[in-house]
Chain A
């Protein structure tokens, strides 16, 4: 996983649910993730799947990813090319799933970031630079086990590598 990320911020509000990200009406696409990814977040912003570019960031408010345990939600955000999701807080299952699929999720004060701001993020240094605004934000560090899983490329890759959970 690259430690330095660069891209445009796409801003969403509070309470973006897994139904906004990967809605139940597209249940039949869950075994066809590239196709499902074409609809990512469209129920929150119908234009998002067309405008997102590789390396961009999804920037939410409070309780991002609430609702279902569907891992398809962070998976299709990642498949759409998004480098990281930033939010003031995340719902628990989404947060864990995101790490498991290798999608960085960063808790920070997203109020200061506006739609289409250019961001540069140094994951290892824990710094988010809003180039458009000329400000720097910090984000809360992940627990060690999550850093380990993320740096291995997700949980499946972690288990492939060690055959078990490797906590240290």
Chain B
């Protein structure tokens, strides 16, 4: 019987043949926590008397959610991570280095790996053909110390995407469209596996955007074949030797097959307060915006900033609409500086901030006021997400975000493209 990508990778790590539904103990290649979940992971390790890391060179503690610290309690939480890194020799990703998911794909995760991370968007690395999934602090703590975890092999929903995107339509629109279609719990406990001609031709950066949001449909991970595009990406990051092709068998057994025609998708927006509350940008056109945020692990990469910069070049944000830009990592920031994008953003009236999660988590750097609306390129628009339950969050692509910042209201990017 043919195997899905999930079954292949988990089977290799469990040392036996597995099928969906099996429960196994599997080897963990990469383990990661961030500053919101890491301190609890360290405290749990202390409780278990396990101040150790099985693979210190592939264990990473990221300070990205509240970085630099906006509060003394968080500064003290950061100290817990720095102390643990000193004691065990694991990697510490300091303030300004970037969002964990971007840093993981840039420097740590390879095709065929199992990555467990104490952050729900750990599924981002699934785009490299790795089984990457989010867990809580204690699960990841055990993974750090023992180098293993228990997993239920998930059933897989195969998403086949064919056809060309219309102008002004991007990977973000595709994933919002899909989540609108299958809903926020349409893939609970399942793996998503993306394929088809559109995905084959898609850049690595756009693939990360898709996998990043798998969890917004409830999925355990969002897998994509490791192919020549993956190989070129790894080579660009100095990890060409780590490439291996990963693909499902032709006769793999899927729980469900979903076919999507990319040419039918419009620029999409998720309206408050759920990701599956999707409309086209045209349908929501005219919604006034107090803030626009371009960045995050979903859409804070160089190609995202390039799209936004092209639209903002020589323009200025609407006077009633604040604009915040946060590159996803230090390397993205440096490349965006060299390409002139950062200057474009600053001249357009943006506040450009250090690589990290920025205002997405509601800790700092752009908390909404009562009744305020923000359009963001992030992945989640739950009530209270941006630090105020009385705020309203809309999700969209970098193109829709850039145009909307100029107009001061939700705008279909094709109006100017």
A30 to B66, CA, bound (A): 12
Contact B361 A24 (CB under 8 A): yes
Please list 9 pairs of residues, one from A and one from B, whose beta carbons are closer than 8 Å in the complex, sorted by A's number. A23-B362, A27-B74, A43-B389, A89-B185, A96-B135, A100-B136, A143-B152, A144-B23, A159-B48
Interface size on B, residues (CB 8 A): 58
Contact A67 B150 (CB under 8 A): no
- Interface flags for B379-391 (1: CB within 8 Å of A; 0: not) read 0101111111100
Residues in B with CB closer than 8 Å to A20 are: 382-384
- Interface flags for A94-127 (1: CB within 8 Å of B; 0: not) read 0011001100000000000000000000000000
Contact A25 B363 (CB under 8 A): yes
A126 to B189, CA, bound (A): 22
Q: Which of A49-57, A68-76, A131-139 contacts B (4 or more CB under 8 A)?
A: A68-76
A160 to B145, CA, bound (A): 12
A62 is an interface residue with CB less than 8 A from chain B = yes
Given known pairs A31-B73, A69-B136, the reply for A24 and B188 (CB within 8 Å) is no
Closest CB-CB distance, B76 to chain A, in whole Å?
7
Q: Which of B39-47, B247-255, B348-356 contacts A (4 or more CB under 8 A)?
A: B39-47
Closest CB-CB distance, A40 to chain B, in whole Å?
14
Residues in B with CB closer than 8 Å to A32 are: 73
Contact A66 B150 (CB under 8 A): no
> Which of A23, A27, A63 has most B Cβ within 10 Å?
A27
Contact A31 B139 (CB under 8 A): no
A114 to B71, CA, bound (A): 40
> Which of A24, A31, A62, A66 has most B Cβ within 10 Å?
A24
B322 is an interface residue with CB less than 8 A from chain A = no
B125 is an interface residue with CB less than 8 A from chain A = no
**17 extra interface residue pairs, beta carbon distance < 8 Å, beyond A28-B363, A96-B139:** A25-B362, A25-B367, A25-B387, A27-B66, A27-B363, A28-B77, A31-B43, A31-B76, A66-B184, A67-B380, A68-B36, A69-B120, A69-B134, A69-B136, A70-B136, A97-B138, A143-B23
Given known pairs A67-B380, A92-B188, the reply for A101 and B119 (CB within 8 Å) is no
* Chain A, 154-168, CB within 8 A of any chain B CB: 154-156, 159-160, 164-165, 167
B25 is an interface residue with CB less than 8 A from chain A = yes
Contact B142 A159 (CB under 8 A): yes
Contacting residue for A69 out of B49, B118, B188, B189, CB 8 A: B118
Residues in B with CB closer than 8 Å to A1 are: none
Residues in B with CB closer than 8 Å to A15 are: 184, 274
A80 is an interface residue with CB less than 8 A from chain B = no
Contact B150 A167 (CB under 8 A): yes
Contact A93 B384 (CB under 8 A): no
Interface size on A, residues (CB 8 A): 42
CB-based nearest A residue for B219: A92
Contact B382 A17 (CB under 8 A): yes
Closest CB-CB distance, A23 to chain B, in whole Å?
5
Contact A92 B220 (CB under 8 A): yes
> Which of A30, A69, A70, A145 has most B Cβ within 10 Å?
A69
A56 to B135, CA, bound (A): 27
A100 to B218, CA, bound (A): 19
A101 to B47, CA, bound (A): 13
Contact A63 B218 (CB under 8 A): yes
Given known pairs A24-B363, A27-B36, A156-B44, the reply for A165 and B25 (CB within 8 Å) is yes
Residues in B with CB closer than 8 Å to A27 are: 36, 65-66, 71, 74, 361-363
CB-based nearest A residue for B188: A92
Residues in B with CB closer than 8 Å to A70 are: 36-37, 136
Residues in A with CB closer than 8 Å to B185 are: 62-63, 66, 89, 91
* Chain B, 1-44, CB within 8 A of any chain A CB: 23, 25, 36-37, 39-40, 43-44
Residues in B with CB closer than 8 Å to A24 are: 361-363, 384-387
B52 is an interface residue with CB less than 8 A from chain A = no
Closest CB-CB distance, B190 to chain A, in whole Å?
9
Contact B37 A19 (CB under 8 A): no
B137 is an interface residue with CB less than 8 A from chain A = yes
- Interface flags for B134-174 (1: CB within 8 Å of A; 0: not) read 11111101100010101010000000000000000000000
B80 is an interface residue with CB less than 8 A from chain A = yes
Closest CB-CB distance, A160 to chain B, in whole Å?
6
Residues in A with CB closer than 8 Å to B274 are: 15
Contact A165 B150 (CB under 8 A): yes
A63 to B240, CA, bound (A): 40
Given known pairs A66-B185, A164-B146, A167-B25, the reply for A91 and B218 (CB within 8 Å) is yes
Residues in A with CB closer than 8 Å to B136 are: 69-71, 93, 96-97, 100-101
